[in-house]
Chains A and B, each alone.
Chain A
Amino acid sequence: MFERRVKILLVMLACPAVLASARLVQLQWWQAEAFAAAAERMLSLPPRYFPALRGEILDRRGRPLAFDAPVWEVAFHYAFMVEDDALRRRVYRAAGLRAADLPSPQRVEESWRLVSQLTGVAMDRLMERRDRVVASVARIKAAVQRRRGVETVVQEETMAHTVVGGLDQQMQVDARLGLAGCPWIEVRPCHTRRYEGGPALFHIVGRVGEVDAETIASDPRADDDLACYRPGEVRGIAGVESAAESVLRGRRGRRHEDQKGRPLSPPADPVDGANVHLTIDAELQQAIYVRLSAVLEENPGSTGACAVVLDLPSRDVLAAVSCPAVGDPAVASPEDETFRQPWLFRPGLARPPGSIVKPMLLAAAMADGKVNTGTYFTCSGHLFPDRPDRWRCMATYGHGPVDPVTSLQKSCNVFYYHVGQLLGVRRMRYWWPLFGLGERTGVGLPEESAGRLPDELTEGAARLAAIGQGRLDVTPLQAAEMAATVATGTHRPLRLWHSDAPDNRKETPLPVPPDAWRTVREGMYAAVNMPGGTAFRRADFSRPTGFVLLGKTGSAEAPPRQSAYTCRFPDGSVRRIVARNRRALLDSFDPAERPTILSQQDADPDRDTHAWFIGYLAPRGRYLEPVRPGDGALVVAVLLEYVGHGGEAAAPVAAAILEDILTGRERSDPVQAAAQETPR
């Protein structure tokens, strides 16, 4: 019986064994070829990517302002970040080294200290970095294991990971020599973004920053694995770096091979990003920055200053200076940071324009037939005879009878109250965009505002808008564009940067008759060059040139620099707090302790006005005609915040900037400069 049962057992065990043999035959005879092909496919490795260099940003003369500079980084093999002998042997074998020469744990520990010494990075920072890498690799490994149901070696485990970056030439040589005996540490080249040009170009050039999860999630090129964003990469986050991101950013290279080194897809070489040429002249930008810094030093109550210079008739932005800028030690003290806010790009920031909108409005009113050269309004210092305290003009006893030219020369508010009433906000909303107000100027910077246009259709709103107050805000870039439109009679978007793409900005003539333009230009000429002009004797050049300056001043009433807020706190107490604005006040408290604002008072009643000046250089003797190519004409717009009268404060700065440019032209090309200055 026992023997029989043992035999039964044997048969029961033999059945699966026979089954296994049959399966072997099936796999190895019948399907051998299919499996041999499948085995080759299993050698495929994930593709490797190679970074492309980001394009350079150059100024109009080809001086590099932002570029990828070579640096070096120290990378540790993962196997030596964790204690894993099998992985370490694997790394050594891959490097062609003998596994018997594997270092002792003490030696690896020492090498960390050596890296710390050579790079000057503290040991605990290194350990922190190591722990982060180890944790992230463990996460990847766990995810792969969860998916496959078996522990496998992931690619990240066989790689070297960066622990210190940004080594310069000397440091990398030292590191290479010092770490020569440690084959588990690599000193490898990479690159970093460098900026030349200093604070004067801080806002324009912008900055790059690491891509965040949100950017990756909303990446329109997510399907293109050579162009999409990957964690750890940089992208432009401000200025031209951001505006020209698609141009500057190259395409990464790719190698997709199997473990034998055979290509699985055609290799793609990295394509470096294209260079971007700014229309900015870095030297001019710097010179203007220095000038504006001097103005700020003289006026401690001013929160900032900016200036824009355009080339005519091309509308290339030669300079767009915002002062102060981040990274300028003269203004970088903490109290200045909150007061002057150096991170703001002021040429793109909308502010009340004041009287600088008057030329544009006059042209519009004349084109609409509301005003002609014979029109005059009498200014008695105020609009309504019975209300001398309201709707006032700058002149205490009035300008008397004012015709269109005089209205610009003396900047008569009463004249423009009438013009505003005649035009009305509805008609103004037709004209403003034709001069570029309420729209971006085309420089393409993310920091640029489109400004603000009033939408209230009352007569009062029209009168206020006509003198550039009320709910009308204009950026200095728009102000310069407006002056350029007056100078040429046409409107064209501005240009700050270009790559190789053709210039397809259209020039749009405005529906304004030539006579109207001449009247406006005459008025702007008189404002600077005739006695009684708001900028007369304020904007003279130190010596005769072939140009005359036409301009318009503006002294815009600005919001208070700070307000006093009566606040009720969550604990019931009520206090008065002085702050720049509501946002700044609320941000200075934790969400739990945020007060509710009960009322707001002006804490800055004696503030000065914003000083504006817009103007352009026209050839002497032909200034009533539109500016032509080759005239060498320039537009300038200056805004000095809380400095006072436009004629007294801003006009001299504008004239000095223009004189700097003319002097520079003479120096760089005397023949052409002389030719331009010969009166035609």
Chain B
Amino acid sequence: MIGHRWRPTHPSWALLVPAAPLCLAGLLTLEAIYDPAGTSGLSRAVWRQLAYLALGLACMKGIVLLGYQRLGRHAYALLAGCVLLLVWLLPDMPLVLERNGSRRWIGLGPVVIQPSELTKVAYVLAMAWYLRYRRNYRTLGGLVQPFLITLVPMALIKLQPDLGTVLLFLPVLMAMLLAAGAKVRHLLVVILMGVACLPLLWFKIASYQRLRIVGVVLQDPGIRAALERRPELWQSFRPPGVRPADWIAELTEWEVRSGFQLTHSKTAIGSGGLLGQGWRRGLFVEYDILPERQNDFIFALVAHQWGTWGAVGVLLCYALLTVAGFEIATLTNEPMGRLVAVGAATMLAVQALTNVLMTLGLGPVTGVTLPFVSQGGSSLLTSFALLGLLVSVARIRPITLATPPFEFDEEAERYQHVP
């Protein structure tokens, strides 16, 4: 439909149909938050979001017109540009905006860019470009290079710090490698190595991040009570530099300290009930008691207003989007297209899942937005850019007589001694 024809059977529809209700849910929630009484017309925040939406659609159209292949030729340059922007954020450079102690934004007058969001798109393109004609990643050594490419932006984003975005890259890389045909046992080795490195990471992250991760366990009052009964056990986890009294308070006052956000978000979801409080209704809409409710925790308000049905509906939309993305990947024969589609769809799915699981208390609290729903220009633009890549892959279906790519025959390989 974005192309020359408006065919209702075109797979692009499967992408746009689920994206529309997601955007709508976001807009309605924003309107409810910023104008709970419904007195004046659309609030400024909604107009802004609508403007970003238009910009996102334009961006998507632009990517479709350019085509992922033409973009792919410049993928390394794009990624290098993004890395440069990320490096720009590190030292005390002009135009960098600092909020809540993290340096993630570059302000150009009224326009604020978040380089880590742009990096996501560039990364999918670059990784697809890198993997498209190779087969060396089917050896353990061949996996080193893709991981090195991934580690550069990851490290830079970790330094901002933005742990949530960092953790998006590894699942996407794994998905792309798996789709490209890397050997499962190699990937398992890599995962095991990663798990072995986790303790190292544990000591590398800030104490508040550690508490957020531990919070997934601590949210259970029974576990907290058990730990309170054995304070010496809890003290043994105390990071250096924290006073014992403060550390005990982290446990006894968990709900108003590190668990504040999670407790409020779960309450917002739970108090929504099965049917929800209704649009513009409910305590969490009327009163600003859930911080970041318009942004990272918007899913809690969706569930608060529209109940289980609304929340499951949102999950279904993401499921449809992901399935459509994977379907597009299987429909095309073009190797790069396949990898771009798998990468983009996985990126969207993992981001949505990370956000939803965090809101529900099934994962640590990280600053990951909900694609298409959360307020914010960079997030919306990135989501539509990923969508644009998917549509672009769906549009171009080259007729080729070659065997479909990434269809390795392990048995044949064993006889031919192909690496």
Contacts and interface: CB of A to CB of B under 8 A. Distances in A.
A593 to B, nearest CB: 41
Interface in A33-48: 34-36, 38-40, 42-43
Contacts of A43: 283, 287, 289
Contact of A98 (B40, B288, B408): B40
A9 B178 contact: yes
B131 interface: no
Contact of A29 (B274, B292, B349): B274
Given A28-B272, A28-B303, A32-B271, A9 B362 contact: no
B260 to A, nearest CB: 4
A43 B286 CA distance: 10
Interface stretch (B9-17, B157-165, B310-318, B379-387): B310-318
Interface stretch (A150-158, A469-477, A548-556): A150-158
Contact of A35 (B257, B267, B287, B356): B267
B283 A39 contact: yes
Contacts of B329: 2, 6
Interface residues on A, range: 35 or more
A148 B338 contact: no
Contacts of A217: none
A500 interface: no
Interface in B339-385: 342, 346, 349-350, 353, 356-357, 360-362, 365
A672 interface: no
A9 B326 contact: yes
Contacts of B264: 42
B270 interface: yes
B273 interface: yes
A39 B171 CA distance: 35
A58 to B, nearest CB: 48
Interface in A1-53: 1-3, 5-6, 8-10, 13-14, 16-17, 19-21, 23-25, 27-29, 31-32, 34-36, 38-40, 42-43
B256 interface: yes
Secondary structure of the A contact surface, majority rule: helix
B236 interface: no
B353 A32 contact: no
Interface in A96-136: 98-100
B261 A148 contact: yes
Interface string B198-209: 000000000010
A148 B256 contact: yes
Contacts of B322: 10, 13
B258 interface: yes
B330 A10 contact: no
B416 interface: no
B105 interface: no
Contact of B181 (A1, A27, A35, A148): A1
A164 to B, nearest CB: 31
Given A6-B330, A20-B357, A28 B208 contact: no
Contacts of A14: 319
A42 B404 contact: no
A9 B342 contact: yes
Q: Which residue, B181, B356, B405, has most C-beta atoms of chain A within 10 A?
A: B356
B393 to A, nearest CB: 13
Nearest to A29: B274
Given A19-B362, A98-B40, A32 B342 contact: no
Given A35-B266, A36-B273, A149 B404 contact: no
Interface string B296-337: 000000010001100110010011001100100110000000
Contacts of B175: 9
A20 B212 contact: no
B137 interface: no
Contacts of B405: 2
Interface residues of B, number: 63
A670 B277 CA distance: 84
B360 A153 contact: no
A150 B362 contact: no
B109 to A, nearest CB: 15
A2 B267 contact: no
B100 interface: yes
A145 interface: yes
A210 B179 CA distance: 72
A40 to B, nearest CB: 7
B138 to A, nearest CB: 12
B326 A6 contact: yes
B220 interface: no
Given A5-B178, A13-B346, A32-B274, A148 B40 contact: no
Given A16-B353, A20-B357, A27-B266, A2 B258 contact: no
A98 B37 CA distance: 12
Contact of A42 (B258, B274, B283, B311): B283
A17 to B, nearest CB: 6
B270 A27 contact: yes
Contacts of B194: none
Given A35-B270, A39-B283, A42-B264, A23 B330 contact: no
Contacts of B288: 153
Contacts of A8: 178
Contact of B292 (A28, A32, A100, A150): A150
B211 A149 contact: yes
A9 B179 contact: yes
Contacts of B92: none
A506 interface: no
A373 interface: no
A16 B326 contact: no
A9 B289 CA distance: 38
Given A16-B362, A99-B40, 11 more contacts: A1-B409, A9-B346, A29-B308, A31-B270, A43-B289, A99-B44, A149-B257, A149-B261, A150-B365, A151-B100, A152-B291
Q: Which 7 A-B pairs have the closest CB atoms?
A: A35-B270, A148-B260, A39-B271, A27-B270, A36-B271, A35-B271, A32-B273
19 contacts: A5-B178, A5-B181, A8-B178, A16-B362, A19-B357, A23-B362, A24-B269, A28-B269, A28-B272, A29-B274, A42-B267, A42-B283, A148-B256, A148-B261, A149-B212, A149-B257, A150-B260, A150-B292, A151-B100
